[in-house]
Amino acid sequence: MKIIDFRSDTVTLPTDEMRQSMFDAKVGDDVLEEDPTIQKLEQHAAQLLGKAAGLFVPSGTMGNLISFLVHCPRGTEALLGDKSHTFIYEAGGISAFGGIHSHQLSNNDDGTIEIEHIKSAVRNDNVHFPRTSLISLENTHNMCFGTPIDADYITSISDIAQENGLQVHIDGARIFNAAVALNVDVKELVASADSVTFCLSKGLTAPVGSVLCGDKDFIHEARRMRKALGGGMRQAGIIAAAGLVSLDKMIPQLKIDHDNAKRLADGISTISGLSVNTERVHTNILYFSVDDSIMKGSELVQKMGQHKVKFFEVSPNRFRLVTHSNISLENVNTTLELFDTILH
């Protein structure tokens, strides 16, 4: 039986077309800026996002870290959400490598931060305080139900940044999911940001890599930071080739992933002992809970795993499911049947 893996969209496997493109890729030394496939990917990604330039990086974590290092002089402060990926899941890199002070602000359930909270968090020029340099947003927001954040909100944050001489970075690991869910051109979601990074290896199903985009001066400095962090790669066109296929072919798949997540949530809502807020399912991420008087969360994960359905318990009796191109509607229906059988 096939493993049905809801742990993350990072588990997606490259398509046959991606594998062939990797085999056929023209390559060169990218540290010397001579890899034609990487150059094509960077240019294509920047064009899609409406930015002047792009930089291929090994991971979204590195893309975010580079952005903070470029935008924030050592000892300055970045404003970011208390549920943001950068704050929770990136090993404290902005502090460890950049000496950057993180000022965490409460995320709302939809991933936004109250505008007034951001305004009041910007430091005034006082020797007791670190200088504020950056506002970082996440779209879609992983810990906040995979919610997409619209362009109006992002523009309002960028307006605050401009008024105070700050930069805006978007962790857009799933920015194309946001664009699909909101039915807008992805350019609209990042137009007012100074930098944005997005992942090729999540819903877009490439095996590895992210692209960081911004203006030419920003990318010039980002390239230097990438080298310092050990992210310079040589004949890496063999992996960039898969990213080109991702951008050309896989974006429409995201709508299918979203539909499968909604079907999954609707089904879970009908199963006694499980609870889910179906109104919070906008993209490919959903969270649900189990009544621990019926079954402990760890036991549910174990029993479903015995039937080759994998997912994470993110906190006691609460779980996350992520749909992606390797999850079919049939897999969704099988999973719902197993939940019902195991719980009853």
Over residues 245-284, the pLDDT tens digits come to 999 999 999 999 999 999 999 999 999 999 999 999 999 9
Mean per-residue pLDDT of the chain = 97
69 with 150, same domain: the answer is: yes
74 with 29, same domain: the answer is: yes
Q: Is 130 within a domain?
A: yes
312 with 222, same domain: the answer is: no
Give me the pLDDT at residue 1, please.
Answer: 67
- Is the torsion defined by CA of 325, 298, 290, 85 positive or negative? negative
189 with 257, same domain: the answer is: no
Taking CA atoms, 28 is separated from 210, 238, 239, in Å, by 19, 10, 12
How far apart are the C-alpha atoms of 283 and 275, rounded to whole Å?
18
Give me the pLDDT at residue 186, please.
Answer: 99
pLDDT band for position 194 (cuts 50, 70, 90): very high
Token duo for residue 181? 């869910």
Neighbouring residues of 85: CB distance < 8 A, sequence distance ≥ 6: 60, 64, 138, 142, 143, 171, 173
CA atoms within 13 Å, Cβ hemisphere of 280: 20
How far apart are the C-alpha atoms of 219 and 221, rounded to whole Å?
5
Q: Is 189 within a domain?
A: yes
What strands lie across the sheet with 77-81, from one edge to the other? 53-57, 210-214, 195-199, 167-171, 132-138, 77-81, 101-105
Q: Is 195 within a domain?
A: yes
Q: Is 6 within a domain?
A: no
134 with 276, same domain: the answer is: no
Cis peptide before 140 (omega within 30 of 0): yes
User: Does this model's pTM top 0.75?
Assistant: yes
88 with 216, same domain: the answer is: yes
Q: Is 272 within a domain?
A: yes
108 with 226, same domain: the answer is: yes
Q: Is 271 within a domain?
A: yes
Identify residue 212 by its one-letter amino acid code.
Answer: L
162 with 269, same domain: the answer is: no
Q: Is 73 within a domain?
A: yes
Give the residue numbers spanning the domain of 306: 252-343
Domain boundary among 215, 249, 283: 249
Q: State what percent of residues in the chain have pLDDT above 70.
A: 100
Q: What is the mean pLDDT of residues 15-20?
A: 98
Number of Cβ within 10 Å of residue 308's Cβ equals 13
Residue 237 sits in a domain whose CATH number is: 3.40.640.10
Give me the pLDDT at residue 279, please.
Answer: 96
Reduced to 3 states (helix: H, G, I; strand: E, B; else coil), residue 120 is helix
103 with 188, same domain: the answer is: yes
Q: What is the mean pLDDT of residues 73-86?
A: 98
327 with 210, same domain: the answer is: no
Domain boundary among 218, 249, 280: 249
Q: What is the mean pLDDT of residues 185-212?
A: 98
Q: Is 7 within a domain?
A: no
Q: What is the mean pLDDT of residues 41-56?
A: 99
User: Residue 173 pLDDT > 80, yes or no?
Assistant: yes
257 with 228, same domain: the answer is: no
Domain boundary among 211, 232, 249: 249
Domain count, the chain: 2
166 with 312, same domain: the answer is: no
Residue 328 sits in a domain whose CATH number is: 3.90.1150.10
**What residue has token string 């359905």?**
309
